[in-house]
Amino acid sequence: MDTLILRDDTVLDHNPGPGHPENPARLAAVLKDLDERPIIGTRTVAPRLASRSELERVHTSAHVDIVESTEGKPHVVLDNDTVTSPGSWLAARCAAGATLSAVEAVVSGEASGAFALVRPPGHHAEAGHAMGFCLFNNVAVAAEHARNELGCERVLILDPDVHHGNGTQHAFQNRADVMYVSSHRYPFYPFTGPVTDIGNREGSGFTVNLPLSQGMGDADLLHVYQDVVTPIVAGFQPDLILVSAGFDTWHSDPVGDLGVTRAGFDALFELFSAWSDAYCPGRLVATLEGGYDPSGVVQGVRASLRALTARTSASSSGEAGADIGLDSAPCSEARITAVEARKALAPWWPKLRQG
């Protein structure tokens, strides 16, 4: 079965203006690359638009009104670094809609894995306001749709973007039905997501924060996911996995300043794919978040699609993905981060006390 690519030029009509890092060129580079070097096992379709009621599962109607009111206007400043253009309202509805289309396709079994190639990104958008280049929280809207309409009971959101997805965490931090896992540089914009944030009330233990330091690379990123998240995913048993696929951890990204290479993107998405194969085969959806060096976004999308189209065999002994490796070893600081995260989450996930 094919992996679906959700693609629509409507999302290129959002343009925050000259010199803005989140510009149409970053996605245009990905589309050109896929046209020139298509990936075997993928199929491209046009997405639908998100409806107002779908957006309002996450956002206030006042916020949806504000974004709608920008339609056709040259430039409207919504926060310090979030600016709209005449086509932004439609682009933002298309970005959320593509993520919804992707989820519908994998849950119905029409596709084995899907990638929504969208912008503007979503994970900083809060219920009531735009933030950090994001208008609507695409991944949160998709998780709510999966819970409310598609029969999914345990949705796992993985967010390896270099920034913490404050909007996504806030949407789900009091709940146990949608787990949010973020690795991010910290302290760094938006300055949320310390390791001690593990969710509240019924959501305690269902928010996982993995803070990284400037310059960390492939082995560090892979280590925190394998060491902390693999046992939690085994306990959570997701029936859908959504990835906030940000590629601003790339070594040449002008914003992120981490050191991740193509090998790191490959290993990370192989791990995500192994979890999906073990707990929810075919139900892995990526939606594009950040990434501001076009070549890094191209490599990240190729790595993701490569992992989505290559079916891994779930290990029968031990935990899914435990054997995915890299040539290099994690630094001591990354090991300490993993120890701290295990300690913070161990009361809710007994498996973290072992090993």
Which residue type occupies 252?
Answer: S
Segment lying near Zn ion (by CB under 5 A), choices 31-39, 153-161, 299-307, 339-347: 153-161
Q: Which of 8, 22, 144, 161 binds Zn ion (CB under 5 A)?
A: 161
Q: Which of 22, 248, 277, 293 binds Zn ion (CB under 5 A)?
A: 248
Establish if 290 lies at the interface with Zn ion (CB under 5 A).
Answer: yes
Least separation, in Å, of the C-beta of 35 and Zn ion?
Answer: 25
The DSSP call for residue 214 is: T
Sign for the CA dihedral angle at 175, 181, 184, 186 comes to: positive
Nearer to Zn ion, 130 or 274 (CB): 130
The DSSP call for residue 217 is: B
Among 199, 90, 107, 188, CA closest to 145: 107
Least separation, in Å, of the C-beta of 320 and Zn ion?
Answer: 27
Q: What is the DSSP string of 2-46?
A: PEEEE--GGGGG----TT-SS-HHHHHHHHHHHHHSPPTTEEEE-
Establish if 283 lies at the interface with Zn ion (CB under 5 A).
Answer: no
Q: Annotated catalytic, 124?
A: yes
Least separation, in Å, of the C-beta of 161 and Zn ion?
Answer: 4
Residues 52-111 that bind Zn ion (CB under 5 A): none
Establish if 246 lies at the interface with Zn ion (CB under 5 A).
Answer: yes
Q: Is 17 left (phi over 0), alpha (psi -120 to 50) or beta?
A: left
Least separation, in Å, of the C-beta of 350 and Zn ion?
Answer: 33
Least separation, in Å, of the C-beta of 104 and Zn ion?
Answer: 26
Establish if 167 lies at the interface with Zn ion (CB under 5 A).
Answer: no
Establish if 300 lies at the interface with Zn ion (CB under 5 A).
Answer: no
Report the 10 Å Cβ neighbour count for 102: 29
Q: What is the DSSP string of 250-294?
A: BTT-TTT--BB-HHHHHHHHHHHHHHHHHHSTT-EEEEE----SH
Residue linked to tokens 């992992």: 307
Catalytic residue among 63, 123, 124, 164: 124
Segment lying near Zn ion (by CB under 5 A), choices 6-14, 205-213, 284-292, 303-311: 284-292
Report the 10 Å Cβ neighbour count for 117: 25
Least separation, in Å, of the C-beta of 162 and Zn ion?
Answer: 5
Residue linked to tokens 């909007």: 167
Nearer to Zn ion, 71 or 79 (CB): 79
Nearer to Zn ion, 113 or 246 (CB): 246
The answer to whether the peptide bond before residue 190 is cis (omega within 30 degrees of 0) is yes
Establish if 163 lies at the interface with Zn ion (CB under 5 A).
Answer: yes
Nearer to Zn ion, 66 or 288 (CB): 288
Name residue 211's beta-bridge partners.
184
Segment lying near Zn ion (by CB under 5 A), choices 14-22, 276-284, 285-293, 325-333: 285-293
Nearer to Zn ion, 143 or 245 (CB): 245
Is residue 329 helix, strand or coil?
coil
Site size toward Zn ion, by CB under 5 A: 5
Positions in the binding site for Zn ion (CB under 5 A):
161, 163, 246, 248, 290
Active site residues: 124
